[in-house]
Chains A and B, each alone.
Chain A
Amino acid sequence: MNLGLFIVFGALCVAGALNLLFQRHPINSALSLIVVMSSLAVLYLLLGAEFLAAAQVIVYSGAIMVLFTFVIMLLNAGKEERTHGSKMAYIAGIPGAAALLALLAFIFISRGGSFGSARLGEYIVTTTDLSRVLFKNLLLPFEVTSVLILIAILGAVALARKEH
Chain B
Amino acid sequence: METSFVPFVLISLAKVIVVVVILLMAVAYTVLLERKLVGRIQNRWGPSRVGPFGLLQPLVDGAKLFLKEDLIPEAVDRPLYILAPMIALTCALLSIAVVPFGADVRWHGVDLFEIADVNIGLLIVLGITSIGVYGIALSGWSSNNKYSLLGALRSTAQVISYELALGLSLVGVVMRSGSLRLRDIVNVQATHGLLSWNFFGGFQFVAFFIYLMAAYAETNRTPFDLPEAESELTAGYHTEYSSMKFAMFFMAEYANMITVGCVATLLFFGGATSPFGHFLSGSGPVSIALFSIFWFVAKVFFFLFLYIWVRGTLPRFRYDQLMGFGWKFLVPVAIANIVVTSLWLGFLTPVH
Interface residues of A (CB under 8 A from B): 27, 31, 34, 38, 50-51, 53-55, 57-58, 61-63, 66-67, 69-70, 73-74, 124, 126-128
CB closest chain-B residue, reference A131: B178
Are B156 and A27 within 8 A (Cβ)? no
CB closest chain-B residue, reference A62: B130
In the assembled complex, which residues on chain A have CB atoms less than 8 Å from the CB atom of B180?
127
Are B140 and A73 within 8 A (Cβ)? yes
Given known pairs A70-B153, A73-B149, A124-B119, the reply for A57 and B127 (CB within 8 Å) is yes
Are B120 and A66 within 8 A (Cβ)? no
In the assembled complex, which residues on chain B have CB atoms less than 8 Å from the CB atom of A38?
131
In the assembled complex, which residues on chain A have CB atoms less than 8 Å from the CB atom of B140?
73
Are A27 and B141 within 8 A (Cβ)? yes
Are A63 and B123 within 8 A (Cβ)? no
Q: Give Cα A21–Cα B264 distance, bound, in whole angstroms.
A: 42
CB closest chain-A residue, reference B133: A66
B206 close to chain A: CB less than 8 A? no
- By DSSP majority rule, is chain A's interface helix, strand, loop, or mixed? helix
- By DSSP majority rule, is chain B's interface helix, strand, loop, or mixed? helix
Are A54 and B141 within 8 A (Cβ)? no
Given known pairs A66-B160, A70-B156, the reply for A61 and B130 (CB within 8 Å) is yes
Q: Give Cα A127–Cα B120 distance, bound, in whole angstroms.
A: 8
In the complex, what's the smallest C-beta–C-beta distance from B83 to chain A, in angstroms? 9
Are A51 and B120 within 8 A (Cβ)? yes
Are A61 and B131 within 8 A (Cβ)? yes
B240 close to chain A: CB less than 8 A? no
Q: Give Cα A58–Cα B159 distance, bound, in whole angstroms.
A: 13
Q: Give Cα A4–Cα B127 distance, bound, in whole angstroms.
A: 24
CB closest chain-B residue, reference A127: B180
Are A126 and B119 within 8 A (Cβ)? yes
Are A34 and B124 within 8 A (Cβ)? no
Name the one of B127, B137, B156 contacting A54, with C-beta atoms under 8 angstroms: B127
Chain B interface residue number, banded? 20 to 34
CB closest chain-A residue, reference B83: A31
B269 close to chain A: CB less than 8 A? no
In the assembled complex, which residues on chain A have CB atoms less than 8 Å from the CB atom of B157?
70
Are B127 and A127 within 8 A (Cβ)? no
Name the one of B137, B159, B179 contacting A69, with C-beta atoms under 8 angstroms: B137
In the complex, what's the smallest C-beta–C-beta distance from A108 to chain B, in angstroms? 30
Q: Give Cα A127–Cα B127 distance, bound, in whole angstroms.
A: 16
In the complex, what's the smallest C-beta–C-beta distance from B117 to chain A, in angstroms? 13
In the assembled complex, which residues on chain B have CB atoms less than 8 Å from the CB atom of A27?
80, 141
A73-B140, A73-B153 known; 11 other A-B pairs, CB under 8 Å?
Answer: A31-B138, A34-B134, A55-B123, A58-B130, A63-B160, A66-B156, A69-B138, A70-B157, A70-B160, A73-B156, A74-B153
B126 close to chain A: CB less than 8 A? yes
In the assembled complex, which residues on chain A have CB atoms less than 8 Å from the CB atom of B167?
58
Given known pairs A51-B120, A74-B153, A127-B180, the reply for A63 and B134 (CB within 8 Å) is no
In the assembled complex, which residues on chain B have CB atoms less than 8 Å from the CB atom of A31?
80, 138
Name the one of B118, B127, B138 contacting A62, with C-beta atoms under 8 angstroms: B127
Q: Give Cα A61–Cα B130 distance, bound, in whole angstroms.
A: 8
Q: Give Cα A57–Cα B126 distance, bound, in whole angstroms.
A: 9
Q: Give Cα A18–Cα B149 distance, bound, in whole angstroms.
A: 28
In the assembled complex, which residues on chain B have CB atoms less than 8 Å from the CB atom of A50?
118-120
Are A63 and B153 within 8 A (Cβ)? no
In the complex, what's the smallest C-beta–C-beta distance from A101 to chain B, in angstroms? 32
Are B137 and A66 within 8 A (Cβ)? yes
- 12 A–B contact pairs at CB < 8 A? A27-B80, A50-B120, A54-B123, A54-B124, A62-B129, A62-B133, A69-B138, A70-B153, A73-B153, A73-B156, A124-B119, A126-B119
Are A63 and B119 within 8 A (Cβ)? no
In the assembled complex, which residues on chain B have CB atoms less than 8 Å from the CB atom of A57?
127, 130-131
In the assembled complex, which residues on chain B have CB atoms less than 8 Å from the CB atom of A128?
178
